[in-house]
Structure 1
């Protein structure tokens, strides 16, 4: 390890103990998972092992032996974001040039130029930085066995982001393939902010005998972490979040004035666009030093922003989770979190972007979008101090991903069925794959399954006379390679100027509402729509800034389980403060106490072992507000379940709305539920059957099936330059779904669609746990004479969907003022 120590000493550094341990374990032939906070040197811990080994072997060579220009492919570095590849190539290459001269380091992703691809087709570099999708494409090459035989180490960066996703399963299958092609391939993962590290390590290492027991190396160095909250000068007793926290714009700008550099994190891309515009307006003279960064922006713009952070040119960057991961740049002084982080791990990850190195202070300032988020901020900080970080559940046996992998291996040199089955079973995801499931996948890849076997285009592999399965015709091979991956790109169109310069991607549903000549703001620029052609919306600069901005679906993150438990504890703390008159150690809870004091005055504050139900009558009708505090996704299923069960008692129309805190049921007539009926309506008995009935389980599965059909190869978005539209793809998937439902109802992909809807979309397991917890709770029913602070956000949420000549924000603001007036008290 002398070469590594020399490299560190030349920079005046001393390796951490976890880095030394990783090098030793690597050189001993072990694999493992490295867990350490952001900025503590996980990459150097994983990278130095192969370099040390290479130098040791170089020194041991017989003098005069012939040497190649550069060692063959030795290390594969997998990153979940192709935007990180450029940084990694540069950083790893700088170390390699000094520690292991002769090593070449290159990237391979969808952004790689044709020139580099051509060079790599002839010879791969010594170390390849790539994504799960691009690695799988390389494994589909006919000479994959020869090209990857020299691999000794695979490093999977940001494993906590891949684990528990289909991209993670795709990575597991690629690792299994590399282990079978190589000789003693070692696997090392890098992870931060994950609760179930042991399980994550097992998934990374695989279940094969050659994998050995996974090693968990922990970098436990502590960081000084300061999490603060901007407290509004006045707090609304009737909270709502329509202003996205912009009421505190001047306070945020004032904090920015004290910093040399800062990141402003938001939870959605729409919110990022709004805050970017607002900050440019608030600090107009500094607008050239303020930038925007999110996943729908073109990669060139994102790279410019990242370079601006590195060089110190930028003062403030408004970003989403696109900058959560390991994009390498100079640590910023200050991080803002706009709105609730929704999870403890996300708060820790974002805070780590400030003081992003050992010995530095990480400072994060929370900015509430509404009063109840003060409770969530206090709860998140307390949960972080207790070490209550979210876990991720692994995905078990997704057959759509396996079907794609089978075709990949078939066109990548071919396979024998029994050998590939044994290889697949070495993965954590498919360790329990049955013979029947395997045979079904094999037949599905060969013929498309029973219902589709008559269509030649679904026959993607064939069996040769020698028992080896290989790819089908050239069209099948070309289509498969173009569409490898599990990331859904459905429903988005590129946005570009007439000269071809791209701004990024926007959802097709947003652009479909616009006519040529209409303006909108995207990527921080006002643009005017010219036309939509070949999956691209062509625009030109607009003369005026438009208030219309794109919204992206799937942007609302639910509260995590860990954070909901912490919120209940925070509520109990506020109750204690109100009962004793003491001051809480949490400034956020002290600030929000008057709001909850009013809640307590006109209704009740639920304890940790209570379910609060508020029955309120307004001019809209009869409201029932329930506060299980189980997160938005659980509440969506719960609202539908309650409405369906209630209508079984009496035919009545029930309108629903949900938030992370609760559920609203609204009827014009009296809701046919007495106080004594709620426990039965909230029973976990027959939960699955009732959900399938009330939520149109077949309809949900049909919509979800499109994603599965694309991954499994039943539908294709098309070739570059001829991509199919969202409606066309949806129609194709819908038709296949109906054919399978009628003629092959036991099709395993249909069953997978239903299972994923229940577990991933509706969080069935978490919903059942919530209902079981309610059965152990005291149910407290109150009848306040007006909407309460807890109920008002649910009322406001429902109003989003109502058609009115007034804007939603104006309607909600007017109602809040009316409630304040009727309460007969001054604003707190």
Structure 2
């Protein structure tokens, strides 16, 4: 794209930048120029580059006196801003209000999410602000109202922030369908997407564009910023741990870092670890520093309180999950700390960018590995960041359960013609693959639940008239849809509250079920004692001490293929080992001497006896989901072959399987035909397909979680979905939701794509090494045996003795070993 004409930037905007000692960045002006040329735009710019202002530059310009002239400001909804997080929308509102007020622009800005009061939501549908900041789910709900056709008729622009965070998943499917619907309502609407971490911008251009119109999307690359400064924290005197993920060894060093800085942001990969690390920091907080905790299960009030305190610079440290790693602009953060492995270079870059949040100042980050493999992963991620390499998930076909939900939303808004709606649906990359046959199956499901369920009136939601127009079968279905629509299907949650009604947040039903009166636990930064578990509430009071921390069954962050390959290359690059700490280098050198390294393209399998059992460790580097699936399949084949399997454990890097009889040759256990026979049989028999069906049934609206004034428990939802699942498996195995569940089970729950690559690799380059005892590389996964069911973090103490025993056996050399090669 040619350099934009600086005259195109209204003087009011230029003057505002000048008054702050800033300048309009090239990419900010280019985003305005793309809008003026009538094009959609994708901006890829470093964190701190002013992406949000760049995305809103055309909107701000539309409301300047220079461009308005004698005309009145536009009325109605002008710009939609969509973010993956409610916290990000509120942060953007704070940061947008300042330039709008200081420039004196006649621009009203509001947010809309699940936390927005219902009376404000009603008013927004009839008297909307000029700019509405929302999430994909709230936008989809807005589109389900009859007023939406008038509300969005004059929409000029939609800005999608942090597009990488959700475009490749089901929330992206929902947003893609919303984009198609909005474009149909407002044909001249411009689409804008922003991101700092896209590995493949072209694929995101294709997703953003109306199908087949990628040339209408201008790719804008931001000005480069200062290189981030990333360091890996190591123990002062001790060795890098063999096992564990919490990184609790680093707490004293982390506390000293917090004391030195104005503000430190500490990221964890799970909600449990956020509470666990916060508690450990608070236990040694002799200076009584203000330290906060933030994650998605805390109450709205608790999250807002912490966000406000951070914005005002009142906290010295904040421990958080991914609930805060996207775009939140707190410029006074000196340092970002990542507890545990980052799992991907793009995710790490995103989190690093929270420090300083200025383009011309380097962001500082510290990585805290929990164990030795995590040290290698942290090193690989640091190298990737230093080289500017990014990673991310690939796009896949849109989910049919999401499409069914969208069809119902459209019916709630107004009657629709099926051919017109199909053309609209197919105008997105996610659903361009939908043909007439698939479309009729989806319509049939929304109409009456499908062949096996059509006799039940509760599933009859839409009807077609003589003119081929579809409409709701009864108005009450609209209210039921809006009460239950959504994409995120968490485990059922119970509210934690004091007896006076003050809410602290939510814990999972399975954790609450384990509590009795008088039990104590740590949550929301407080020690709590259970007074009563009643209905959907855990009623608590303050306690002096606590014993447990709630654990959550959320998805594990997947190790990206890109980072896994870097770790594998590192293992065989012996010259690079010299930069590692002595104990890590010794670990690898003894492994190399006693066994072999798993090189790129290979699958190394080690077999050895231990504790009167026979063990095999498969070094896959394909992530926990794929390794867990492989473990299930291997143990099934071992059982068929009389090898008496005892069990398995998995992490992101390897899989350990044990039994009473030795595996002489692992190759037959790994033949690729395992995916065409045993895999299908296993998935159908296991809980995986039922779990996937439960989620798609809720998303598609087949099973409702909420009724007016009442919410089903997780057990009730599970009972309903299991009952329907069994009926469909028996009488309608080709039901559209079973197909959707299969797609989820294959892609998300089992990571079948990576599993297939692994099996293909094993057929070509399987290396089997027989040992007389456990190898050094096997110790991290072996320490997990018997402890995987325990909450993360709590296992660390339990691991120490077992790890030292295994390590002593693994690292013992029976002859003098010359590690220097002299």
TM-score after normalising by structure 2: 0.93
User: Which of 607, 615, 624 pairs up with 1:623?
Assistant: 615
Q: In structure 1, the residue corresponding to 2:129 is in which secondary structure?
A: coil
Q: Map 1:542-621 to 2 at 5 A.
A: 542=543, 544-573=544-573, 575-576=574-575, 583-584=578-579, 588=580, 592-621=584-613
Is the Cα contact below 8 Å between 2:329 and 2:354 reproduced in 1?
A: no
CA RMSD of superposed structures (Å): 2.3
Alpha-carbon shift at residue 102 of structure 1 (Å): 2.0
Q: 1:603 to 1:233 in 2, by over 3 A?
A: farther
After superposition, the C-alpha distances for 1:532-571 in whole angstroms (9 at most, x for unaligned) are 33422221112x2212000011353232111110101221
Is the Cα contact below 8 Å between 2:244 and 2:799 reproduced in 1?
A: no
Alpha-carbon shift at residue 56 of structure 1 (Å): 6.9
1:815 and 2:802 matched: yes
1:725 and 2:713 matched: yes
Alpha-carbon shift at residue 714 of structure 1 (Å): 0.6
1:181 and 2:185 matched: yes
Is the Cα contact below 8 Å between 1:332 and 1:355 reproduced in 2?
A: yes
After superposition, the C-alpha distances for 1:689-719 in whole angstroms (9 at most, x for unaligned) are 2212344456421221011001111101113
Q: In structure 1, the residue corresponding to 2:541 is in which secondary structure?
A: strand
Q: In structure 2, the residue corresponding to 1:112 is in which secondary structure?
A: coil
Residues in 1 aligned to 2:341 and 2:796: alpha-carbon distance in whole angstroms: 20
Q: Map 1:187-336 to 2 at 5 A.
A: 187-207=191-211, 213-234=216-237, 236=239, 239-241=242-244, 244-287=246-289, 289-336=290-337
Q: 1:74 to 1:802 in 2, by over 3 A?
A: closer
Residues in 2 aligned to 1:633 and 1:772: alpha-carbon distance in whole angstroms: 17
1:710 aligned partner = 698
After superposition, the C-alpha distances for 1:293-312 in whole angstroms (9 at most, x for unaligned) are 11111121111112211211
Q: 1:322 to 1:202 in 2, by over 3 A?
A: same
After superposition, the C-alpha distances for 1:796-818 in whole angstroms (9 at most, x for unaligned) are 21221589xxx955653223333
Q: 1:595 to 1:502 in 2, by over 3 A?
A: same
Residues in 1 aligned to 2:708 and 2:288: alpha-carbon distance in whole angstroms: 40
Is the Cα contact below 8 Å between 2:141 and 2:482 reproduced in 1?
A: yes
Of residues 117-126 and 810-819 in structure 1, the stretch that sits farther from structure 2 once superposed is: 810-819
After superposition, the C-alpha distances for 1:61-120 in whole angstroms (9 at most, x for unaligned) are 46xxxx47x621111111111222222223223333445722211111111123422432
1:145 and 2:136 matched: no
Q: In structure 2, the residue corresponding to 1:623 is in which secondary structure?
A: strand
After superposition, the C-alpha distances for 1:7-27 in whole angstroms (9 at most, x for unaligned) are 222222111111111100011
Of residues 248-257 and 657-666 in structure 1, the stretch that sits farther from structure 2 once superposed is: 248-257
Alpha-carbon shift at residue 387 of structure 1 (Å): 3.5
Of residues 792-801 and 816-825 in structure 1, the stretch that sits farther from structure 2 once superposed is: 816-825
After superposition, the C-alpha distances for 1:205-234 in whole angstroms (9 at most, x for unaligned) are 23165x753221111413221111111134
Residues in 2 aligned to 1:237 and 1:316: alpha-carbon distance in whole angstroms: 25
Alpha-carbon shift at residue 4 of structure 1 (Å): 2.4
1:650 aligned partner = 642
User: Which of 87, 92, 96 pairs up with 1:92?
Assistant: 96
Residues in 1 aligned to 2:195 and 2:346: alpha-carbon distance in whole angstroms: 12
After superposition, the C-alpha distances for 1:472-496 in whole angstroms (9 at most, x for unaligned) are 3232111101112111133211211
1:783 and 2:771 matched: yes
Is the Cα contact below 8 Å between 2:170 and 2:398 reproduced in 1?
A: no
Is the Cα contact below 8 Å between 1:166 and 1:395 reproduced in 2?
A: no
Alpha-carbon shift at residue 607 of structure 1 (Å): 3.0
Q: 1:428 to 1:699 in 2, by over 3 A?
A: same
Q: 1:800 to 1:696 in 2, by over 3 A?
A: farther
Residues in 1 aligned to 2:47 and 2:145: alpha-carbon distance in whole angstroms: 35
Alpha-carbon shift at residue 612 of structure 1 (Å): 2.7
Q: 1:57 to 1:185 in 2, by over 3 A?
A: farther
After superposition, the C-alpha distances for 1:715-747 in whole angstroms (9 at most, x for unaligned) are 011136411000100010011111111221111
Alpha-carbon shift at residue 165 of structure 1 (Å): 1.1
Q: 1:115 to 1:747 in 2, by over 3 A?
A: closer
Is the Cα contact below 8 Å between 2:244 and 2:795 reproduced in 1?
A: no
1:502 and 2:503 matched: yes
Q: In structure 1, the residue corresponding to 2:706 is in which secondary structure?
A: coil
Alpha-carbon shift at residue 824 of structure 1 (Å): 5.8
1:373 aligned partner = 374
1:126 aligned partner = 130
User: Which of 667, 680, 691 pairs up with 2:679?
Assistant: 691
1:421 and 2:422 matched: yes
Residues in 2 aligned to 1:485 and 1:91: alpha-carbon distance in whole angstroms: 28
1:535 and 2:536 matched: yes
Residues in 1 aligned to 2:208 and 2:65: alpha-carbon distance in whole angstroms: 28
Q: In structure 2, the residue corresponding to 1:332 is in which secondary structure?
A: coil
Residues in 2 aligned to 1:431 and 1:738: alpha-carbon distance in whole angstroms: 31
Alpha-carbon shift at residue 124 of structure 1 (Å): 0.8
Q: 1:636 to 1:168 in 2, by over 3 A?
A: same
Q: In structure 1, the residue corresponding to 2:540 is in which secondary structure?
A: strand
Residues in 2 aligned to 1:183 and 1:758: alpha-carbon distance in whole angstroms: 37
Alpha-carbon shift at residue 197 of structure 1 (Å): 1.7
Is the Cα contact below 8 Å between 1:374 and 1:589 reproduced in 2?
A: no
Residues in 1 aligned to 2:240 and 2:255: alpha-carbon distance in whole angstroms: 25
Q: 1:237 to 1:156 in 2, by over 3 A?
A: closer
User: Which of 800, 807, 815 pairs up with 2:787?
Assistant: 800
1:340 aligned partner = 341
Q: In structure 1, the residue corresponding to 2:639 is in which secondary structure?
A: helix
Alpha-carbon shift at residue 460 of structure 1 (Å): 1.3
Is the Cα contact below 8 Å between 1:691 and 1:697 reproduced in 2?
A: no
User: Which of 745, 750, 756 pairs up with 1:757?
Assistant: 745
Is the Cα contact below 8 Å between 2:602 and 2:761 reproduced in 1?
A: no
Residues in 2 aligned to 1:92 and 1:501: alpha-carbon distance in whole angstroms: 32
Q: In structure 1, the residue corresponding to 2:159 is in which secondary structure?
A: strand
Matched pairs, number: 802
Is the Cα contact below 8 Å between 2:126 and 2:151 reproduced in 1?
A: no
Q: 1:651 to 1:603 in 2, by over 3 A?
A: closer
2:56 aligned partner = 47
Is the Cα contact below 8 Å between 1:490 and 1:726 reproduced in 2?
A: yes
Residues in 2 aligned to 1:80 and 1:322: alpha-carbon distance in whole angstroms: 10
Residues in 1 aligned to 2:491 and 2:795: alpha-carbon distance in whole angstroms: 29
Residues in 1 aligned to 2:498 and 2:588: alpha-carbon distance in whole angstroms: 51
Residues in 1 aligned to 2:18 and 2:808: alpha-carbon distance in whole angstroms: 69
TM-score after normalising by structure 1: 0.92
Of residues 504-513 and 743-752 in structure 1, the stretch that sits farther from structure 2 once superposed is: 743-752
Q: Map 1:653-668 to 2 at 5 A.
A: 653-667=645-659
Q: 1:392 to 1:319 in 2, by over 3 A?
A: same
1:135 and 2:139 matched: yes
1:35 aligned partner = 44
Residues in 1 aligned to 2:392 and 2:53: alpha-carbon distance in whole angstroms: 26
Is the Cα contact below 8 Å between 2:373 and 2:780 reproduced in 1?
A: no
